[in-house]
Amino acid sequence: MKTFVLSLAGGAAAAALIVAAIPPAAHAQIATGDAVDANAVVGASGNWTLKERESWLSTRLNMARNDGTIGGDAFDSVHHELGDLRADEDRMRGNHDGQLTDNETIALEGRLNDLADQLHWLRDAGFQRPW
């Protein structure tokens, strides 16, 4: 039992040292909400930038319209929402010298995910986001 407690204490101490070794600047951006690089990746989107994700979704939307898997009204609806998202992103970037805050990036990523989900249900069960 004593060995177990000592091992547990040693593991906790090692974890504390690792956390302490992370520079405070690594946490500063998240805490302060400072603007980030336009190509920065936030969330679970892999290495995809917002512009890459928007372009991919636009391509898939056009493919779905062209192959007839979604109708004109559905296309128009999703296309309009994607246009609104792009306009909002451009406006947000204009407010921060071309950059987005972490919160803005997360919000835009969430909207892109919602649009991809909407297209998924409009199209077919085989539609998957690659990010």
- Residues 6 or more apart in contact with residue 50 via CB below 8 angstroms: 38, 89, 100, 105, 108, 109, 112
Specify if 24 maps to a domain.
no
| Higher local confidence (pLDDT), 45 or 120 | 120
Specify if 3 maps to a domain.
no
Specify if 4 maps to a domain.
no
Residue 37 has pLDDT above 60, yes or no: no
Model confidence band, residue 122 (pLDDT cutoffs 50, 70, 90): confident
Q: Global pTM?
A: 0.58
Domain of 95 in residue numbering reads as 32-122
> How many domains does the structure of the chain reveal?
1
CA distance 114 to 18: 37
CA distance 106 to 128: 20
Specify if 57 maps to a domain.
yes
Instruction: Evaluate whether 88 touches 115 at the Cβ level (below 8 Å).
Output: no
Specify if 6 maps to a domain.
no
Residue 54 has pLDDT above 50, yes or no: yes
Specify if 37 maps to a domain.
yes
Specify if 10 maps to a domain.
no
* pLDDT average, residue stretch 60-69: 89
Specify if 67 maps to a domain.
yes
